[in-house]
Amino acid sequence: MKQDIRENLALAFDTLRTHKARSALAVLGVVIGVGVIIVVASLITGFKSTISDEIAGFGANTAWVARFDQGPRMSALPKNERTRPPLTLDQGLGLDSQCPAIKEVAISVYEWHDNHIATFRKNQVQALDFSGTFPSYMDVYGNANLRAGRFFTQAENLHRDKVVVLGEDAAKALFPTAQDAVGKMVNLDGADFQIIGVFEKPEGGFGFGSEDKRAIIPYYTLHEMYPQALDNGYRFLAYPGKLDEAVDEARWVLRRERKVAYNAPDSFSITTQVQQEEQFNQIIGGVALVLIVLSSIGLLIGGVGVMNIMLVSVTERTREIGVRKAIGARSRDITWQFLFEAMTLTGSGGILGVLFFSGLAMLIPHVTSMKAAVPLWAVLVGIGVSVAVGLIFGVWPAVKAAKLDPIEALRYE
């Protein structure tokens, strides 16, 4: 049996060497199909790593409370969400005082309707992630680490001081280094603020390639600048091992404070890290489905090409098949010969696809801001599927060759 396998492989590789151009064209679809698997799997792996790092950066024992349901959307907000009243400061303070399982709450207020701009001399940063919050922000947010300076105090918050902590990328766009920014005055939306600190950019950023353009000021300062800003959000930190309990307590307090009827759905959303990861896994599942469809098209085209080439090969080698049968080769020997040839052809295409597109995937982090890593399972699946394509689409040519009558085959010109 081992001798037969070695012989069939030798014959298969000899055929590949003899018909290089024809073989290359035959497996082009297989190379592309396997390449799609490798590239998309690499991007999915990198995307998942980035999102996991980002979510973990917020803190494993935290939950986010928002007015609207969180997660990916395929359409506009439904009416029942659009009519929800905003979350208020008092409701956030109620979580801090009425939920024993909650250690600390960071309440933030946002003004979404302006393109917030920071200006220092001729340098400018647009589309700031602008919000007002409390000093507890530093304790609740796991990605709130300072590269330089300090965070503002509760006294500065109560006095509505015009102080700001900038994100690392925003500071670098305005000043040579983060240290240079501290102590300088910067214009935010027409008002002068003193920079007292610069955040360290979280590992992985804020999603694929996004910049740290945070501009965090005291809660009451923002409310003084934008009295119409009513959109509050809360992130709370639970005591270790009590996140589920904290979520239940927060839901109960908010339903009571917002006067939600006992049989009505929540008029807010509470999202934990686990739920966020599940939501992103759903997105990844959709991308994986697209991967299967795209790669299947390439592999189908490649399989049809291989089958046609193998049928041509059977016709060209009719006399050879007749000679082999005449000297004692069995039908199954002929079948396995052509199946091995088909599998070697597509398997070689699969290996080429893995090598070439793995190289491309490894270049992605160097030429873009996205992460990418070639997972072992994608390599194994790519090679395995390419060999399977040869096995499936090589059956008909192999059976056709095996059924040739040796006498008729020897007469073939």
DSSP string of 213-261?
Answer: -EEEEEHHHHHHH-TT--EEEEEEEEPTT-HHHHHHHHHHHHHHHTT--
Please tell me the predicted confidence (pLDDT) of residue 133: 97
- In tens, the pLDDT along 19-69 reads 666 666 677 778 888 888 888 888 888 877 776 666 666 666 889 999 988
Determine which helix (DSSP H) or strand (DSSP E) holds 155, and give its type and residue range.
helix 154-158
User: Is the per-residue pLDDT at 146 higher than 80?
Assistant: yes
User: Is the per-residue pLDDT at 203 higher than 80?
Assistant: no
Q: Which residues contact 402 (CB under 8 A, 6 or more apart)?
A: 331, 332, 334, 335, 338
Across 170-174, 248-252, 268-272, 336-340, least confident range: 336-340
Please tell me the predicted confidence (pLDDT) of residue 131: 95
Across 195-199, 205-209, 269-273, least confident range: 205-209
Q: Nearest-CA neighbor of 189 among 113, 241, 257?
A: 113
Across 104-113, 187-196, 291-300, 355-364, least confident range: 291-300
User: Is the per-residue pLDDT at 89 higher than 70?
Assistant: yes
When pLDDT is averaged across residues 316-335 and rounded to a whole number, the result is: 74
CB atoms within 10 A of CB 74: 4
Q: Which amino acid is present at 245?
A: E
Give the three-state DSSP class for 55.
Answer: helix
The rounded distance, in Å, linking the Cα atoms of 244 and 363 is 42
The rounded distance, in Å, linking the Cα atoms of 154 and 135 is 6
Please tell me the predicted confidence (pLDDT) of residue 108: 95
The rounded distance, in Å, linking the Cα atoms of 27 and 15 is 14
Percent of the chain with pLDDT over 90: 36
Contact 313, 399 (CB under 8 A): no
Please tell me the predicted confidence (pLDDT) of residue 407: 64
pLDDT band with cut points at 50, 70 and 90 for residue 283:
confident
Q: Which residues contact 371 (CB under 8 A, 6 or more apart)?
A: 45, 46, 47, 49, 50, 204, 365
Q: Which residues contact 21 (CB under 8 A, 6 or more apart)?
A: none
More confident residue, 212 or 274: 212
Q: Say which residue the tokens 């049996």 belong to.
A: 1
pLDDT band with cut points at 50, 70 and 90 for residue 185:
very high
Determine which helix (DSSP H) or strand (DSSP E) holds 48, and give its type and residue range.
helix 20-57
Q: Nearest-CA neighbor of 99 among 207, 255, 211?
A: 255
Please tell me the predicted confidence (pLDDT) of residue 255: 95
Q: Nearest-CA neighbor of 245 among 103, 107, 106?
A: 103
The rounded distance, in Å, linking the Cα atoms of 191 and 189 is 6
When pLDDT is averaged across residues 272-285 and rounded to a whole number, the result is: 73
pLDDT band with cut points at 50, 70 and 90 for residue 288:
confident
User: Is the per-residue pLDDT at 352 higher than 80?
Assistant: yes
Please tell me the predicted confidence (pLDDT) of residue 93: 94
Please tell me the predicted confidence (pLDDT) of residue 2: 44
Beta bridge partners of 238: 102
pLDDT band with cut points at 50, 70 and 90 for residue 327:
confident
Beta bridge partners of 159: none
Q: Which amino acid is present at 269?
A: S
Q: Say which residue the tokens 């001729």 belong to.
A: 122
Q: How many helices (H) and strands (E) does the chain have?
A: 16, 12
Please tell me the predicted confidence (pLDDT) of residue 3: 43
pLDDT band with cut points at 50, 70 and 90 for residue 1:
very low
pLDDT band with cut points at 50, 70 and 90 for residue 413:
low
Highest mean predicted confidence (pLDDT) among 80-94, 111-125, 168-182, 244-258: 244-258
When pLDDT is averaged across residues 179-205 and rounded to a whole number, the result is: 89
User: Is the per-residue pLDDT at 74 higher than 70?
Assistant: no
Across 120-134, 242-256, 393-407, least confident range: 393-407
